[in-house]
Structure 1
Amino acid sequence: MRYLNKLWLGAVALLTIVACTDDSLLDYKVNKPESIAGLEYLNDYDVLKSYINRTNDPNFKLGAGVSVDAYNKQGAVYSHITSNFDEMTAGWEMKHGAVVQDNGKLDTGRVKQFIATAKNAGITIYGHTLAWHANQNATYLNSIIADKEIEIDPNDANNALHATTPEAKTNIWDWQLEYVLPTPLTQGVEYTLKMRAKASSPFTVGFWRTNGSSTNYGPDIAFGESWSDASVTFTPTMDATRLQFCFGTFAGDLYFDDMVLTASGSEENLIENGAFDDTNLSGWQKPGWHAYTFAVETLAAGPATWWTNLITNSDVESDDVSSFFATEIRVGPNPATIGADGTGADGVGRAIVVKSGDSPNESWDTQFFVKAPQQLLEGQAYRFSMKVKADKPATIESQSHNNPGGYIHWSMVGSPAVTTEWKEYTNSGIISAQQAGANGMNTIAFNLAVFKEANTYYFDDIVWEIEESGNTIPLTPEEKADTLLWALDNWIAGMMKVSKDYVKAWDVVNEPMDDGNPYEIKTGVGKTDMAADEFYWQDYLGKDYAVVAFKLARQYGNADDKLFINDYNLEYNLDKCKGLIQYVAYLESEGATVDGIGTQMHISTGSDKEKIAQMFELLAATGKLIKISELDIGIGKTTSEATEEDYQAQAEMYKYVVQKYFELIPATQRYGITVWSPLDSPVESSWRAGEPIGLWTEGYDRKPAYAGFADGLSGENN
């Protein structure tokens, strides 16, 4: 909406454009200038609303945009609006930003006075507006979804196993910490070790298994400078009796906590006292020649930690593939597609489908990329998981990249073994210096061309998380959505409480459709020039934000209220008009009831008349009530530059728009027309400043546009 903070909508009941002079008082005859004489016909017109045929259109409302404060004074604006119009739309004072205070409370004093004044005058009010991205109290809304302060209890301590090495030695095995297993591991069985770990400086600890005569090496475990989760999966080739943690080339402090070792298919922890709640270190030992210390230590409570998922559309249930990309030198530039419903994990939902071509030269001839929206640096803790299957079994490779194709390091999240059945693959650790490279990494690349023949891979539930910490913690998307649903409910309930006895029609959802992608709703994501009063509810509540708004308006309002959705440029971009109509169909499929569609028509004398007519035809075909919600027409010049020809062209365009509305919108669907700026716009206005867009001048004189509009209403020359 092109909105007005202060609309200078004054008027006296009837003022003419010609200053009348009593020529009989003069002793000589004066001829009136031709330019004035040509406008005297405007004196013959009646008040504007008198031209509505109430027999044919008993419910039609002729509206005007107003400044509530100016109208409440009951002066010139009150007289002018009440004389010429049936209904008013507040330019600012009934919006979220005007009513909701920084503490969330609603200040409805001006609204109550506005309703009382309108009721006394017998003129109705069109409520404007309940769900919009502009004119919001964004300060308040952002404050209720801001990061939460975490109160750290100094008594909330935690035990951990702490090893301190005095110096870095030559070989990784020069410092070793061993755990003697109560029950030996079984050869050929898959095991998973999970733990929390940190170090005084990033280091990768060697993880071995041994039975005293033979040893299995790896996978290694990366420790970062803050607590992070680590997980490794391995299958011993012997009945191992000891776990070995090797860190001979490290000097400093290592911390181990919450160690859980489980066999595949079992939840039994094979490590006793893995949380180190007991200071008894039974089973833990070091070779006698190792001159370092280890013990259970009580650690002070640290900052809060949480995990943030970097992947958009992890479950592949939307069409957003911004986190996913693929290359295949024989198939095309991006063979990653979203499969049909039922291709997802275990036959539920959808999956990312990637096809590799025949006869590859290298395993990376087909690559599937999972991209994060930010650079990840050395020492960053991560967790990665996905569900994957293929038409043919394969072991795929992973790499770290800086953007897809920007290779950094050979191994990132291991080498997943893919079967023809869905299987979840997990990996976690700390990003190493090699994986991060000099400038950080943001992409995991999977090499899929591991066969000499084509294969098709399916990926679902892709989650790539990083651990973050601090003394504040962000709300989860679910928490933000829940908080904003409460705020929207509180706002709409409050407005309906003070207005429902008199206000029977509402602009519930305003300007939902995107200009660049007219079949999609607007978003503030990535916007760098956000205004102070801008807040996109849909970025937190999704496209159903409008469903919620309509249901709340119906719940707290009157059962027979007329509830509208409204947007601009529908006559300029017919795809946007079609997108809005499509969105209305979606809202109603989700249980909302939309009574009408409003079209803002902030147009000019050069606007495309054919498109205007096509817009009305599209809107009429919906069967909904149709309202021209904010009509004004510019001439492409300021008031000081306007010519007589400009004003005649403006009058003709006003007449055309009004006539076409009555011609193409069936009588049962005609809610009305609102003149958004009845007077020409002052130079200090926030809306079309200094433009002669009104039916009256700033001095309340009728313009040719007045006659054009009145003729359109009356059907003259139709």
Structure 2
Amino acid sequence: MKVLNSLLYVAAGLSLTACADQDIPGFTTDEPAEVIAQDEINSYGTLKSYVNRDKYPQFVMAGAVNAEQFNQVGQLYSLAKANYDEVVTGNAFKYASVVGSDGTLNTATVESFVNNATNAGLTVFGHTLCWHSQQQVAYLNSLITDPNATKHVLYIHMGEPKTNNWDRELYVNPTTELQSGKTYTLKLRVKTSAACDVTVWPQGDATQYWPTPSFKSTTEWTTVAQAFEAKSALKQLRFELGTLGGDIWMDDVQLLDPDGNNLIANGTFEENADGWTKPSWHEYEIKTVADPDQEGGGGGMTEEVKKDTLTWALNNFISGMMKACNGKVKAWDVVNEPMSDAAPAELKTAGRDGDPKKCFFWQDHLGKDYARLAVKLARKAASDSVQLKLFINDYNLEAAYNKNAKLQGLIDMIKYWESDGVTKIDGIGSQMHVTYSMNPKTQAANEEAYVNHLKMMAATGKLVRISELDMGIADAEGNTINTADVTEEQQQLMAQYYKFIVSRYFEIIPANQQYGICNWGLQDSPKGSGWRADEPIGLWDANWVRKPAYVGFCEGLKQE
């Protein structure tokens, strides 16, 4: 599209002289084909003008905008006002954007955004009230950490050294089976009553195991990190301790995959030594004890107190957001991205689904019913005159690779949350960060899974919202194609895919279940962006020039 834009600017300059030249007898000029094509794109109306309001009275055409830029009431404000019924912010409503490191709330940007949107005749969709990411993790953890609490570690008294390493073994299974050929890192703090070497054997099955290089342990706490390449499908770590004598203490054990995810479920031993085992015929005991080097200690915060404290923190945020929005925001993602990718029928959890140092998994602290609490707090905090529409929002619900398993997991989880007879969840948000594939088989599978996921959501009877629709493109081998390398033919294919996605929504979702579609990527993503960097995800390019994708979206809305 860079070539096309350049031609447009050149053509605009040439047009200043073309009129005079055309007065010369026998002289004519023709517009370049690229200019004609852009003129056709520019002849389309605004996005929301193509929605048949008589046939689809509930449908909302929404767009995601940067709150600070929107609040300048400039170009983005005008474009949003012209094209959308509703706006949503990418980040401004999220916990870390509102709550400071000390827990105080600053809702100035939120309030300005809501007021500016209202003045423009736009509604606002709230995103999001309860999520594991973009949280003030250190602050939230500080609320449930008793400074006088005893820190626990794993402890084994070995007694006299044995002849062989395997005479004393300690086992732990990773939460996810490791993949052959990939590099993983074992990291832990360790201390022994005498200096020694410790060897760890990753094991696939009874015949597939190999040693990692041993690491040193001393009489002082030492942090060690040992990288190794998996040589088979690893299912267990075996710590070989037979030749050690005396005592060993271990803490903060992590097994990090190539993306930095921790695959050890219980490596801090604050509650117990669950998940750590030994052969039944080995005589030593595995247990947790107070850190022998910890100063002070004692007491501790009960689980009940922790839950009460976090309930207060969640309510403080939710009620603060409701107050800031002053009854003008009537629909929210009450819970965002709850379902696990590794286990799509289960909720996300720290370690398996994210680094607990970067994320705060409310469900790990408040339990499986945490969504019930979020819904209850949201409805309680809302203005009496507002009937909130509350959505559960997640990604990869339309994914072909797992045959919509994550959507089925979410549907089942919503049924569980509503089984108390009190909790009411109004709708499902499907993010739809899709990629057009130049591989015909892959693309056909993607389209089939998308249609199936619409049918599954329609069958729930709930409101259905495509919440974050944007589109990239990949070559036949699955490699991302960057913006500058997208051909005109590929632009047209992406446009057709947009038409397919939007039109199928109208065809499959009953009118009374249609909440609408949110256009997430307005412009192509720049290089270095934190979101789909250098991908052609926009309906407009970086200069706010409409793309063929804009036409495809409009054609889908037209329903012709």
Q: Which one-letter code corresponds to 1:523 in the other structure?
A: T
Which SS does the other structure have where 1:629 is aligned? strand
Aligned to 1:158: none
CA deviation after TM superposition for structure 1 residue 604, in Å? 1.3
CA deviation after TM superposition for structure 1 residue 470, in Å? 3.1
Q: Which structure has the larger Rg?
A: 1
Structure with the bigger percentage of strand: 1
Alpha-carbon separation, structure 1, partners of 2:405 and 2:512: 25
Structure 2 length as normaliser, TM-score? 0.70
Which SS does the other structure have where 1:38 is aligned? helix
Aligned to 1:610: 448
Give the 3 Å change call, closer, same or farther, for CA 33–494 of structure 1 in structure 2.
Answer: same
Alpha-carbon separation, structure 2, partners of 1:515 and 1:142: 25
What is the aligned residue count?
431
Which SS does the other structure have where 1:111 is aligned? helix
- Pairs within 5 Å for 1:704-715: 704-715=548-559
Give the 3 Å change call, closer, same or farther, for CA 673–438 of structure 1 in structure 2.
Answer: closer
Give the 3 Å change call, closer, same or farther, for CA 647–405 of structure 1 in structure 2.
Answer: closer
Is 1:583 aligned to 2:413, yes or no? yes
Alpha-carbon separation, structure 2, partners of 1:527 and 1:714: 40
Alpha-carbon separation, structure 2, partners of 1:551 and 1:528: 26
Structure 1 length as normaliser, TM-score? 0.55
Gaps of 5+ in 1: 1-14, 151-303, 311-321, 326-372, 380-401, 410-431, 449-462
Give the 3 Å change call, closer, same or farther, for CA 120–585 of structure 1 in structure 2.
Answer: same
Alpha-carbon separation, structure 1, partners of 2:10 and 2:137: 44
Check whether the contact 1:127–1:505 (CA below 8 A) recurs between aligned residues: yes
Aligned to 1:542: 367
Give the 3 Å change call, closer, same or farther, for CA 701–438 of structure 1 in structure 2.
Answer: closer
User: Which of 584, 598, 603 is the matching residue for 2:429?
Assistant: 598
User: Which of 350, 372, 395 is the matching residue for 1:568?
Assistant: 395
CA deviation after TM superposition for structure 1 residue 25, in Å? 2.6
- Pairs within 5 Å for 1:310-459: 443=277
Check whether the contact 1:546–1:587 (CA below 8 A) recurs between aligned residues: yes
Is 1:45 aligned to 2:44, yes or no? yes
Aligned to 1:703: 547
Alpha-carbon separation, structure 2, partners of 1:524 and 1:477: 17
Check whether the contact 1:16–1:43 (CA below 8 A) recurs between aligned residues: no
User: Which of 676, 683, 693 is the matching residue for 2:520?
Assistant: 676
Alpha-carbon separation, structure 2, partners of 1:378 and 1:138: 35
CA deviation after TM superposition for structure 1 residue 63, in Å? 0.4
Check whether the contact 2:191–2:248 (CA below 8 A) recurs between aligned residues: no
Q: Which one-letter code corresponds to 1:618 in the other structure?
A: M
CA deviation after TM superposition for structure 1 residue 26, in Å? 2.4
Alpha-carbon separation, structure 1, partners of 2:40 and 2:308: 60
Check whether the contact 2:101–2:138 (CA below 8 A) recurs between aligned residues: yes
Q: Which one-letter code corresponds to 2:129 in the other structure?
A: L
CA deviation after TM superposition for structure 1 residue 684, in Å? 3.8
Is 1:516 aligned to 2:339, yes or no? no
Which SS does the other structure have where 2:135 is aligned? coil
CA deviation after TM superposition for structure 1 residue 36, in Å? 2.5
Alpha-carbon separation, structure 2, partners of 1:526 and 1:623: 32
User: Which of 495, 503, 524 is the matching residue for 1:651?
Assistant: 495
Which SS does the other structure have where 2:61 is aligned? strand
Give the 3 Å change call, closer, same or farther, for CA 44–146 of structure 1 in structure 2.
Answer: same
Alpha-carbon separation, structure 2, partners of 1:73 and 1:664: 39
CA deviation after TM superposition for structure 1 residue 612, in Å? 0.5
Which SS does the other structure have where 2:128 is aligned? strand
Check whether the contact 1:129–1:509 (CA below 8 A) recurs between aligned residues: yes
- The CA RMSD measured in Å over matched residues stands at 3.5
Per-residue CA deviations over 1:327-356 (Å, capped at 9, x if unaligned) read: xxxxxxxxxxxxxxxxxxxxxxxxxxxxxx
User: Which of 458, 471, 494 is the matching residue for 1:633?
Assistant: 471
Which SS does the other structure have where 1:508 is aligned? strand
Check whether the contact 2:455–2:509 (CA below 8 A) recurs between aligned residues: yes
Per-residue CA deviations over 1:218-261 (Å, capped at 9, x if unaligned) read: xxxxxxxxxxxxxxxxxxxxxxxxxxxxxxxxxxxxxxxxxxxx
Alpha-carbon separation, structure 2, partners of 1:443 and 1:122: 62
Q: Which one-letter code corresponds to 1:146 in the other structure?
A: T
CA deviation after TM superposition for structure 1 residue 482, in Å? 2.6
Which SS does the other structure have where 2:339 is aligned? coil
Alpha-carbon separation, structure 2, partners of 1:443 and 1:659: 55
Give the 3 Å change call, closer, same or farther, for CA 43–407 of structure 1 in structure 2.
Answer: closer
Aligned-residue identity in percent: 42
Give the 3 Å change call, closer, same or farther, for CA 447–712 of structure 1 in structure 2.
Answer: same
Give the 3 Å change call, closer, same or farther, for CA 443–403 of structure 1 in structure 2.
Answer: farther
Q: Which one-letter code corresponds to 2:113 in the other structure?
A: F
Alpha-carbon separation, structure 1, partners of 2:393 and 2:39: 38
Give the 3 Å change call, closer, same or farther, for CA 640–437 of structure 1 in structure 2.
Answer: closer
Is 1:25 aligned to 2:24, yes or no? no
CA deviation after TM superposition for structure 1 residue 527, in Å? 6.9
Structure with the bigger percentage of helix: 2
Check whether the contact 1:403–1:443 (CA below 8 A) recurs between aligned residues: no
Give the 3 Å change call, closer, same or farther, for CA 592–470 of structure 1 in structure 2.
Answer: farther
CA deviation after TM superposition for structure 1 residue 46, in Å? 1.1
Q: Which one-letter code corresponds to 1:600 in the other structure?
A: Q
